[in-house]
Structure 1
Amino acid sequence: MKLKDKRIVITGASAGIGLALSKRLIKSGARVACVARNKKAMEKQFGNRAVIISCDISDPVQLDAMFKKAENLLGGIDIFIANAGFAYYGTIGKPDWEKDKKIFLTNVVSPIYSLQRLSEGRKTPLIFMVTISGLGKMVLPGFALYNSTKFALDGFVRTYRMEKPKNIKIIPVYPVSTVTKFFNKAGGKDTPVPYPRQSTEFVAWCMESGLKTGVRSVYTSVIFLLRCMISRVFPIDLFAQGFERIRLKRWRCKQDLVMKGH
C-alpha cells in the first residue's frame, strides 16, 4: 500500500519512535497529524509540514477534542498509530492510586478507546497500528507496572482479532529497547536498559514497512521473534530475568544513596 495522501494520526510524535516515524510518514507524502503534549517540540520539528495537535491522551476530554480536530483538518482518518506510552521502571513502590491509574489510562485505556471511537459505525477501511513493546511478550524485573499494561494491550489485540469487522486491520508492534530518553524518564539517568537495543530510526523504518506491506504484526528484532517462538517450549528467559534482577538491585542501591543525600 502506498502511503502518499493517506490521512494518518500518530500519538507520541514529539520524541523517540513517534518523532522518527512521523518524519518518515511526512516524507512519504502522507497527510500527518502529529499528537503529543509538547506542542513546541513538534512545531520545532515539523513546522507547517504536519498538523500539530497538543493532547494528553490519558484525558478523555482532550482525546475527543483531538479526534474532532484531526478529522476536521485531515478530512477523515485512514490510519491511526497509537504510539504514546507511559514510561516506568523500578519496584511498584508505595500505594499511589493516581500513578497506577495514569499508566493504565495512557498505555491501555487510551488505545482501546481510540479504536472504539474510530471503528464505531465505520464503513470505510481503517488501519490501527499500536506500539505494544517486546515487554508485552516477556517479563523482566523492574517493569512490573509497565509489563502489566503491555500484557493487557497484547491480550486485547489478540482477542479483538477474533471479533473485529473486516474493514478494520490492527497491526501490533513489538519493538525491543530503543536508544531514546524513554528509560531516563522511566527511572532516571542510571536506569539499566535491557538488551538487545535498536535505534528509533530502524524501528520507525520497520513500522513504515509494516504499513506498506500490510503485515499481521511488526517485530523489529529477528532475535526477539525467535525468542518468542522458542519460549513456548523452553524457559529461555531465565538468564535474562536473572541478569535484570541483579541490575535492578544495583539501581535500587543507587536510588537509596541519592535519597540519603550521598
Structure 2
Amino acid sequence: MSRSVLVTGGNRGIGLAIALSFAEGGDKVAVTSRSGEVPAELAAYGAIAVKCDITDAGQVDAAFTEIEEKHGPVEVLVANAGITKDTLLLRMSEDDFTSVLDTNLTGAFRVVKRASAKMLRARKGRVVLISSVVGLLGSPGQANYAASKSGLVGFARSLARELGSRNITINVVAPGFVDTDMTAVLSDERRKEIVAGVPLGRYAQPAEVAAAVRFLASDEAAYITGAVVPVDGGLGMGH
C-alpha cells in the first residue's frame, strides 16, 4: 500500500535521492525545504513540497497539517534537513554552535515529536534520522556539526525504547562522504585525501544512502530499531 512519507530537506542532495526512492516505490511523498519548491524530478511522481523552517515549531506544525490534509498522517518520517557552519573551535561563535544544533538536532526533535503523535495513535510508524560518520569519528573544524549528528544517536535510541511497544521503529543512517553539491566544492586535493581514508576508495552515491533508508522503512526491517547503519565505505568502522 502507498504510504504517506515525509523527507525533511528533501529538495536536493541526499534528501532528494531518498524522496525519489520512495516516490519510485509508489509512496505518497512530501518534502520540506526553506524554499517550498518541489524539484522537477519529484513533481513527475506527484510529490508535494511544503515550505518549512524546522527551527520554528509553528512552521513544523503547519507543514504537518498541510501534509496530513493531502496525504494523510505521516507513516514514514526521514529527518534529513541539516546545515553546517564549519570553523575551528576558537573561531566558532555561539551562533555557529547553537544554530547548527537547533537545525540538525533540535529540528529532528521537532519533526519526530509532531509525527509520533499520529504514529502512536495508529500503533505503527517508521522514523529514520540522517546522521553522519562525522558524528562517530569527529572532524577538526566541525565540533558543532559532529555534536549535532552524534546527538541524533542518543535521541534515536531513547525513542526506540520509548516507542517500540507501539510498533514504531527509530533508526539512524550515518553516511560518509557522498557525491553531492556540498562535496563538489572541495578541491581535487582534498577529495583525494578523503578517498584515501575510505577502504572502498570512493565517494558514496546519494542513491546508496537512499537504499539503506528505504530498507529501514520497509516491512523487512520491522525488527530493527535503535540501530546505526553506516553507509560510509568503511570509513567509520569500529565506531
TM-score tier by shorter-chain length is 0.7 to 0.9
State the distance in 1 between where 2:33 and 2:60 align.
Answer: 11
State the distance in 2 between where 1:210 and 1:16 align.
Answer: 19
Give the alignment partner of residue 65 of structure 1, picking from 50, 62, 65. Answer: 62
State the distance in 2 between where 1:224 and 1:208 align.
Answer: 22
Superposed, 1:91-240 pairs within 5 Å as: 91-92=88-89, 94=91, 96-120=93-117, 122-124=120-122, 125-167=124-166, 168-183=168-183, 189-190=186-187, 192=190, 194-195=194-195, 196=198, 197-212=203-218, 213-214=220-221, 215-216=224-225, 217=227, 218-221=229-232, 223-224=234-235, 226-228=237-239
Superposed, 1:44-63 pairs within 5 Å as: 44-47=40-43, 49-63=46-60
Structure 1 segments unaligned to the other structure (5+ residues): 229-262
Q: 1:21 to 1:150 in 2, by over 3 A?
A: same
Superposed, 1:24-43 pairs within 5 Å as: 24-40=21-37, 42-43=38-39
State the distance in 2 between where 1:226 and 1:43 align.
Answer: 34
State the distance in 2 between where 1:165 and 1:112 align.
Answer: 17
State the distance in 2 between where 1:96 and 1:70 align.
Answer: 36
Counterpart AA for 1:164: L
Percent of aligned pairs sharing the same letter: 23
Cα offset, 1:189, TM superposition: 4.3
Residue number in structure 2 paired with 1:255 = none
Check conservation: 1:87, 1:183, Cα contact below 8 A. no
Cα offset, 1:116, TM superposition: 1.8
Counterpart AA for 2:159: Y
Cα offset, 1:82, TM superposition: 0.3
Q: TM-score, normalised by structure 1?
A: 0.76
Bigger drift between 85-94 and 21-30 goes to 85-94
Residue number in structure 2 paired with 1:248 = none
Check conservation: 2:127, 2:217, Cα contact below 8 A. no
Cα offset, 1:145, TM superposition: 1.2
Q: TM-score, normalised by structure 2?
A: 0.82
Cα offset, 1:83, TM superposition: 0.7
Cα offset, 1:27, TM superposition: 0.8
Structure 2 segments unaligned to the other structure (5+ residues): none
SS at match of 1:8: strand
Q: 1:120 to 1:183 in 2, by over 3 A?
A: same
Q: Which runs of 4+ in 1 moved over 4 A?
A: 188-191
Check conservation: 1:89, 1:183, Cα contact below 8 A. no
Counterpart AA for 2:162: E
Residue number in structure 2 paired with 1:22 = 19
CA RMSD, 1 decimal: 2.3
